[in-house]
Amino acid sequence: MAAIAADAAPAVPGVVPKAHLLELTSTRFFAAMAVLLGHFNDFIGMPEWLARWISGGFGVSFFFVLSGFILCYVYWEHFENGPAREPYRRYLIARFARIYPSYAAALVLITAFYFLENAIRPGTFHPPENALTSWLANLFALQTFAPSIATQQAWNAPSWSISTEFGFYLVCPLILAGLAAFCRGTRRLLALLAATWVYAIAMQAAIVVLVFRYGWDQQFWADIVASRNIFWRIHEFLTGVIAARLLYGGHVAWLVRSALSRNLLLLTSFALVTVLNLAPWPADPASIVVMRQFRLDVAYTIPFAGIVLALAAGRTLASPLLSRPSWVFLGDISYGIYIYHWIPWTILAHAQAFGLKLPLLLVTGVVLGTIMFSAASYLWYERPARLFLRRKFGH
């Protein structure tokens, strides 16, 4: 998901590459594991409070905020004067090389599993009616724009976020150029941040009205579109971008100077995430839908931006852990954990559907195996493929 500075190929000759933000890299592992454990809890059966605390449904939101922050941090000097054609081309190649190889591998692997299972047990996997079109939409990462739940969910379900992320990649240079031209001052950046959150609330409110007053399909519009489409999630990316400009534009110098301020911001933000995770949900299904739209897709944006800002501004009480090479490596492989984990989850789900018992020890082994597979993929496939694509097409 979010790329780090060390992964970025220079888009403009002469621009000095940015330092690798180690602590932000490490945080990606926790976000990826929150997503994984949220799905694998179907087999683990954690106590409700623990499941909500670990995986409150926020992992992807953190990735989107972090992605906006990192891309602004890395590419600001490249695009502040506008996205010239050649730098924009090199930028897109670098972004494509960063996430597409593992994305495509995950799609191929889960497709192979589906067809193998159908060969063994005919009729187990029911592809969408437009199977080829649906699969191609996923191959080209267009599924988040498809007017079909099956197209988005039938294959590698979590990959919808990569489709949305590609949309962010396309518009990011334009966003950076716009900020440079119109929002260099502190007040304008804060005004834009407030407008971004107002926009997010308005977009979710529009879906609630359309679903509950005008009878639009709830599953598609509330559960799919408003939770996944770029127009409903771009506030998270923009929040990350604006947070980066506040920090690296010198607008929050007090945060850089004061370790106490960074630690207070980090602890306060983490406490707010915990409160959001553990807060009770209403019993009424309609109320759950309404609250979910604002709670999961809007409210988490604020504390996540605080966490990212605190960790990027300087050392905090979390630095001794997050800067350790072992945790940074786990952050490096977190994209693999995220994009591959649906494959073993699907295998376990189908095994359970056929009446097989899934002891906790087996599920734990599968989780650890997913992490190990992601590490191997990162070392021997993801990173080499990324370097090859950048060297082949990025010049």
How many CA atoms within 13 Å lie on the side-chain side of 386?
A: 20
CA distance 353 to 30: 29
Q: What is the structure's pLDDT at 290?
A: 80
Neighbours of 204 (CB within 10 A): 23
Structural domain for 292, as ranges: 5-393
Residues 6+ apart with CB under 8 A from 348: 40, 43, 358, 363, 366
Number of domains in the chain: 1
- Could you report how far apart the first and last alpha carbons of the chain are, in Å? 24
* CA angle, residues 344, 348, 349, in degrees to nearest 5: 115
| pTM above threshold 0.85 | yes
* Rounded Cα gap, residues 390 and 85, in angstroms: 17
Cβ atoms of 66 and 308 within 8 Å: the answer is yes
Q: Which of 2, 4, 55 is nearest to 345 (CA)?
A: 55
Which pLDDT belongs to residue 17? 64
Among residues 73, 61, 4, which one has the least CA distance to residue 304?
Answer: 61
* Alpha carbons 308 and 111: distance in angstroms, whole number: 36
Q: Output the pLDDT for position 28.
A: 95
What gap in Å lies between CA 251 and CA 189, rounded to an integer?
Answer: 9
Question: With a cut of 70, which residues of the chain have pLDDT below it?
Answer: 1-18, 56-57, 394-395
| 3-state SS class at 199 | helix
Contact 152, 229 (CB under 8 A): no
